[in-house]
């Protein structure tokens, strides 16, 4: 990839990739499994996820100018890697759909109840398509703004909910036992897989690769912190029993936020601050999808592939969210399980093979680097 981005933008990508879906919908899914322990369960899952993010960064640092698709060809051979590429296209398509639908739920349930879902989805898809066609550089630039906005969003939310904060709602920790918590951690992989597999493709855009591992590490730690704030506040403020009730938990929290008596409602402020982040998430997923697809089907002009693909994915998005409850159920089963298998299995496979074929690859990758598109 030719485009390069600075460390700061790379840093901000992590938070944005995790944030959008995790704070509301995943939190709700986890709460329905483990109650008030949602935040600990998510925290544990995220810490496990960081291991795989590091693994991905490690693989990336071995092939600094290659994307996951490129080096998987070196490691696994053409046909096996093509098989995985097809899986990844499907994964990224679904990832885009879940991410976009997170926004659809927010908009449809809280802001525009009477607007047809398809209109919202198409408008959003058009925006995302515009973003991806401008290139990953633009997305990373939006990502930086989004990063600033979600930090602001977190601060405002903390201030808005502090008066309703009840530590009692968070206790007792590990109410249903640690094992249950660990099991519920699988739900978080619906989000973590975005970062793990997305990182494989966006890693080469980082312009200075020295200390890339530690940047990745701190970025994921920071992202974890920013995201975990949410289930933490949500549980403390709403209580697990209320959280269970709603499909988009974060909006329910925001419904109760009253920023002084002059701003009786803050949904709109929140949506405005938050959309940027979810946009980064979904447009990166679409970007990765198109990128992977390009590897499978060769086309002369990029838009010949990306435009129909976007329309198809928008339709998938629509089909997925027609029934809101089915969609949220889908995010509890089978989506996170499938995502977890792919996002844990694929990097591990690549890693193991890279260890076995260490010597051979070393020389190969040097010669192949020239051919990178």
Partner 1 sequence: MLRKYLHSISVILICCILLTGCWDARGLDELALVMAVGIDKSVDSDKFVVTVQIAKPQSQDKSNPSSDEPVWTASAEGKTLFEAIRNIAKFSSRRVMWAHNRIIVIGESMAKDDITPIIDFFTHNPELRMKTWVAVCNGKAREYVSTKTGMEAYPALSASELFNYYELSAQSVRTSMDILFRDFQSETVQPFVSALYLEPLLIKQNEGQKEKGENQVVLEGGAVFLRTKMLGFTTPEQTRGLGIVRRNISSAVLSVPTDEEEEEYVAVELNSIKVNMDSKMQGDLPSVIIDVSCSGQIVEQDFSTDLSMDAFKKQVEDKTAEILTGNIQDGIEAVQKEYKSDVLSIGRLIHINHRDLWYSKYKSNWEKIYPNIPITVNTTVKIEYSSTYQIPMNNED
Partner 2 sequence: MPELISSNLKDNENRLYEKFAQKSDLIIRYFKIETLNNITAFIAFISCLSNGDKINSYILHPLLRKDFSIQQKATDSNRKAPDIIVQSGLLSPTVTLTTDLNEACNKLLAGDCVLFIEDCPEAVINSIGGWEQRAITDPISDVEIRGARDGFIESVKTNMVMIRRRIRDINLKFESYSIGTRTQTEVVVSYIEGIVDAKILEELKNRLSKIDTDSILESGYLEEFLEDAKFSIFPQILSIERPDNAAALLLEGRIIILTDNTPFALVVPSYFWDSIQAPGDYYTRFYIGSFVRIIRIFALLLSIFLPSLYVMLVSFHHEMIPTPLAMKMAAGREGIPFPAILEAVIMEIMFEVLREAGIRIPKPIGQAVSIVGALVIGESAVQAGIVSPIMVIVVSAAGICSFAVPGYYVSMSLRLLRFPVLFLTSIFGNFGFIVATMAIFMHLVSLRSFGVPYFSPYVPFRAGDVAYDLIIRAPWKIMSKKKRSKTNVT
By the criterion CB under 8 A, which residues form the site for partner 1? Answer: 109-116, 119, 122-123, 126, 129-130, 133, 164, 166, 168, 171-172, 175, 238-239, 241-242, 244-245, 251-252, 255-256, 258, 264-265, 301-303, 307
Q: How far apart are CA 331 and CA 316, in angstroms?
A: 15
48 binds, among partner 1, partner 2, none (CB under 5 to 8 A by kind): none
Q: Which is nearer to partner 1, 109 or 364 (CB)?
A: 109
Residue 166 DSSP SS3: coil
Q: Which is nearer to partner 1, 82 or 244 (CB)?
A: 244
Q: For the CB of residue 153, give the shortest distance to partner 1 in the complex, in Å.
A: 18
Q: For the CB of residue 16, give the shortest distance to partner 1 in the complex, in Å.
A: 24
Q: For the CB of residue 144, give the shortest distance to partner 1 in the complex, in Å.
A: 24
Write the binding mask 274 to 293 for partner 2: x where contact by CB under 8 A, - elsewhere: -xx--x--------------
113 lies in the binding site for partner 2 (CB under 8 A) = no
256 binds, among partner 1, partner 2, none (CB under 5 to 8 A by kind): partner 1
Q: Which is nearer to partner 1, 84 or 96 (CB)?
A: 96
198 lies in the binding site for partner 2 (CB under 8 A) = no
Please name the residue ranges forming H helices in the chain.
7-21, 27-34, 38-62, 68-76, 78-106, 117-134, 136-161, 178-184, 189-202, 212-238, 240-245, 249-255, 267-296, 302-321, 324-330, 335-356, 358-368
257: left (phi over 0), alpha (psi -120 to 50) or beta: beta
Q: For the CB of residue 127, give the shortest distance to partner 1 in the complex, in Å.
A: 9
Burial state string for 111-137 with b = 16 or more CB within 10 A and e = fewer than 16 = eeeeeebeebbbebbeebbebbbeebe
Burial state string for 323-340 with b = 16 or more CB within 10 A and e = fewer than 16 = ebeebbebbbeebbebbb
Assess contact for 248 and 25: CB atoms under 8 A.
Answer: yes
# residues contacting partner 2 (CB under 8 A): 35
151 lies in the binding site for partner 2 (CB under 8 A) = no
Angle at 341 between CA 338 and CA 343, to 5 degrees: 105
Tokens found for residue 18:
């995790």
115 lies in the binding site for partner 2 (CB under 8 A) = yes
Q: For the CB of residue 244, give the shortest distance to partner 2 in the complex, in Å.
A: 25
Assess contact for 237 and 253: CB atoms under 8 A.
Answer: yes
Instruction: Choose the binding region for partner 2 from 54-62, 108-116, 161-169, 305-313 (rule: CB under 8 A).
Output: 108-116
Residues in 242-261 that interact with partner 2 by CB under 8 A: 261
| Residue 370 DSSP symbol | G
Residue 132 DSSP SS3: helix
| Residue 107 DSSP symbol | I
Instruction: Choose the binding region for partner 2 from 136-144, 236-244, 301-309, 342-350 (rule: CB under 8 A).
Output: 136-144
Residue 67: CB partners within 8 Å, gap ≥ 6?
1, 200, 201, 203, 204, 291
207 binds, among partner 1, partner 2, none (CB under 5 to 8 A by kind): none
Which residues of the chain form contacts with partner 2 (CB under 8 A)?
A: 5-6, 8-9, 107, 111-112, 115, 119-120, 123-124, 127, 130-131, 134-135, 137-138, 141-142, 144-145, 261-265, 267-268, 271-272, 275-276, 279
């Amino acid at each position: 990839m030719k485009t390069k981005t600075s460390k700061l933008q790379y840093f901000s990508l992590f938070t944005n990739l995790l944030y959008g879906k995790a704070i509301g919908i995943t939190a709700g899914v986890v709460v329905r499994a483990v109650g008030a322990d949602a935040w600990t369960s998510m925290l544990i899952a995220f810490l496990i996820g960081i291991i795989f993010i590091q693994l991905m960064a490690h693989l990336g640092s071995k092939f600094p100018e290659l994307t996951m698709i490129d080096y998987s060809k070196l490691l696994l051979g053409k046909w096996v890697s093509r098989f995985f590429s097809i899986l990844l296209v499907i994964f990224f398509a679904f990832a885009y759909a879940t991410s976009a639908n997170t926004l659809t739920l927010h908009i449809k349930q809280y802001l525009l109840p009477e607007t047809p879902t398809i209109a919202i989805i198409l408008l959003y898809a058009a925006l995302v398509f515009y973003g991806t066609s401008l290139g990953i550089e633009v997305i990373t630039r939006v990502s930086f703004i989004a990063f600033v906005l979600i930090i602001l969003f977190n601060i405002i939310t903390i201030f808005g909910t502090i008066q309703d904060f009840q530590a009692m709602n968070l206790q007792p920790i590990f109410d249903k036992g640690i094992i249950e918590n660990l099991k519920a951690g699988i739900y978080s992989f619906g989000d973590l897989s975005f970062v793990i597999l997305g990182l494989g493709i966006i890693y080469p855009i980082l312009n200075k690769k020295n200390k890339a591992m530690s940047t990745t590490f701190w970025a994921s730690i920071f992202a974890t912190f920013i995201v975990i704030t949410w289930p933490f506040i949500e549980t403390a403020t709403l209580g697990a029993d209320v959280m269970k009730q709603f499909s988009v938990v974060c909006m329910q929290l925001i419904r109760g936020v009253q920023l002084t008596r002059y701003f009786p409602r803050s949904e709109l402020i929140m949506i405005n601050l938050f959309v940027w982040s979810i946009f980064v998430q979904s447009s990166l997923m679409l970007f990765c999808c198109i990128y992977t697809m390009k590897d499978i089907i060769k086309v002369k002009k990029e838009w010949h592939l990306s435009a129909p693909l976007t329309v198809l994915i928008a339709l998938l998005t629509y089909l997925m969210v027609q029934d809101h409850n089915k969609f949220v159920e889908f995010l509890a089963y089978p989506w996170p399980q499938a995502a977890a298998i792919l996002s844990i299995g694929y990097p591990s496979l690549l890693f193991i093979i890279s260890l076995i074929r260490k010597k051979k690859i070393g020389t190969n990758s040097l010669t192949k680097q020239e051919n990178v598109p």
